[in-house]
Chain A
Amino acid sequence: MRHVRADGYPEFAAARAAHLYRSACLLTGGDTHLAEDLVQETLGRLYVKWGRVSRAENPAGYAQTVLTRTFLAHRRRRWSSERATDTFPDVPDRRGADADTSLRLTLVQALAQLPAKDRAVIVLRYWEDRSVQETADVMNASSAAVRTRCVRALARLRELLGEDLAVYVAP
């Protein structure tokens, strides 16, 4: 039964793709190729079950959840045990602004040094503004585990970036 899809999926995908991609770039610690792959995978999964997703309370939030789980599943497949990357992925510079680029590089390189799950916690908590409990739900973890990861990741980022992040944030 072929017909042009009129159920809102194409519009949703077009509207959310950019945000999902940015989340994915942070989740992957700046690996833009992997980020593209994850976003396509996520959109593909939403495509399959759009009928239900579209009726969920928060389809955008659901998309984010699928992205995070796809990322974590990818890590599980790729590495049998979790470890931090010690090489920095190539971050293509698509924007000229020096300040932005340097912020991005520094921050993303710091993120890349965290274990994948810690990175996911940071992205969910501080980029997505999810609560600890919501973060735990997304990651199929306990809220205690999320808190532990969060404390550890914050300490590491503080160490890497310095206490005063103001230099990285434009006024």
Chain B
Amino acid sequence: MPVEQHEDPFEDRLGDALRQAGGTFEADRVALVAGGEVRGRKFLRRRRAVVAGGVAGVALVGVGGTLLVPWDGGGGASVAADPTPAPSVSASASAAPAEPISGNQLLRTLKGLLPDGKVSGEEALGTGSEHNPYARLVYDDGEGGGAVSVGLGRVEPGSDTARELITCPDERLVPHDSCSTTRLPDGSMLQLFQGYEYPDRRVDTKRWLADLVTPEGHHITVTEWNAEAEKDSPITRPEPPLSPDELRGIVTDAAWRTAADALPNPSDTGSEAPPAADGTRVGETLARLMPRGLEVVADGGQASEYAYVVVDDGKGETLVQVNVQPDIISSDPMLDTSRQLFGSGAEVLPDGTKLTTQQGPGDDKATGLIMWTVDTMRTDGLRVVVSAFNSGSQVTAPTRDTPALTLAQLRDIALSEEWEQLR
């Protein structure tokens, strides 16, 4: 799309020559795309979804940030934040501090910790790779095979990431049958979770896991399913093969910590996200800003940045969620989203705040779920995104035709000066 007439014929000739020369560079597209994805996940881990890709991402942050996805074995990419810091994958990454542990060693350890039974489908990745290590197999105690996997990672002790890993997800965001967090005598935090592969339970594949974060920042997750693969595989038994107690026994085994020692310490390889608005205060502010006549029937959120309330006007529940992201611009000039992404369609208020609104489907499954969103960015980079659904949750069927709040009310909430106090 030539947009300006060139005054000089040399300019046109240069354009032709550039196109011809540029066209001769042949890309290895597969490698580029794969490399991009690895980095994308690394960014997500690092900034813990400070900008998880806009409204859809923000909506998922509430879910994904508390979900426990210690590694991604490749193949399907994860949209939501994968909260485990991983070794840096850049070429300049420092060498791992301890002897690498091979995938076979990890498998041997796992098999040694399982009760008697049959094992098949073994697969593993050692600590020497740029991806997080894991061991995976199908375990059959005689009652049917179930996939069992162990993933290892490192987190910064005491960081928000570490805390969120062992915080039980909100029932409204991630429906589950049971979840508990306990502190072990050595100071490690252990979470036992019994839920489903798909939060909306469109398939009843169960996913149980034990998540351990040690005071030194080892992060170990043992996950199991009542199917031989985590997805798209028939259910083989009513429940996964290992009891929560057995999961606990496996995840706390010292061998995993030794293996995780071979992973680079996250404080050496990347920084945590910039200080974020405290989640509790975000939630209190959101509740305070609800218009009169709406009763807050539930609330919750994450350790930082994200909170929600469920309100009822007597005609059905509405989930209202907010994401408060302080100053994402100055923390990374590459994320200068204001100009590009609040593009020409954005409304600019007298104080320079940019604002866009969206009214669209609340999910991609045509369930009738509706999400209305007001996305704002102050001139100093503070971003406040408020969304409302026509349901009390993001994962359940609509309870009403439209959200209980009007777009104008959402706008007032997003533009409230109170958010500016949270930084």
Contact = CB atoms under 8 A, between A and B. Distances in A.
Interface of A: 1-7, 9-10, 13-14, 17-18, 20-23, 25-26, 32, 35-37, 39-53, 55-57, 62, 65-66, 69-70, 73, 94-95, 97, 100-101, 103-104, 107-108, 122-123, 125-127, 129-132, 134, 137, 154, 157-158, 161, 163-166, 168-170
Given A41-B39, A123-B18, A163 B76 contact: no
Interface string B232-273: 000000000000000000000000000000000000000000
Contact of B21 (A2, A18, A73, A107): A107
Interface in B196-255: 199, 230-231
Greatest chain B CB density within 10 A among A4, A10, A46 is at A4
B53 A51 contact: yes
Nearest to A158: B10
Interface residues of B, number: 74
B69 to A, nearest CB: 5
Contacts of B32: 13, 17, 20-21, 36, 39-40, 43
A39 B47 CA distance: 20
Given A40-B35, A52-B341, A169-B20, A47 B55 contact: no
Contact of B10 (A130, A165, A169): A165
Interface in B86-103: 91
Contact of A43 (B16, B39, B333): B39
B3 interface: yes
B388 interface: no
Given A52-B337, A69-B334, A44 B63 contact: no
A52 B26 contact: no
A82 B211 CA distance: 49
A129 B3 contact: yes
Interface of A is mostly: helix
B33 A10 contact: yes
A43 B3 contact: no
A163 B10 CA distance: 7
18 contacts: A2-B72, A7-B56, A13-B37, A17-B33, A23-B22, A25-B22, A25-B25, A26-B21, A45-B335, A48-B40, A49-B51, A51-B52, A51-B58, A55-B54, A126-B14, A132-B4, A157-B14, A165-B13
Contacts of A131: 3-4
Given A45-B40, A101-B24, 8 more contacts: A2-B76, A3-B231, A13-B37, A18-B26, A49-B341, A94-B26, A122-B14, A122-B18
Contacts of A104: 21, 24-25
A1 B35 CA distance: 21
B75 to A, nearest CB: 8
B334 to A, nearest CB: 6
Interface in B327-346: 333-337, 339-341, 343-345
Greatest chain A CB density within 10 A among B15, B17, B76, B341 is at B17
A46 to B, nearest CB: 7
A72 to B, nearest CB: 10
Contacts of A25: 22, 25
Contact of B25 (A21, A154, A157): A21
A64 to B, nearest CB: 11
B410 interface: no
A40 B36 contact: yes
Given A14-B29, A123-B18, A49 B10 contact: no
A41 B33 CA distance: 10
A168 B20 contact: yes
Contacts of A125: 11
Nearest to A52: B54
A2 B15 CA distance: 44
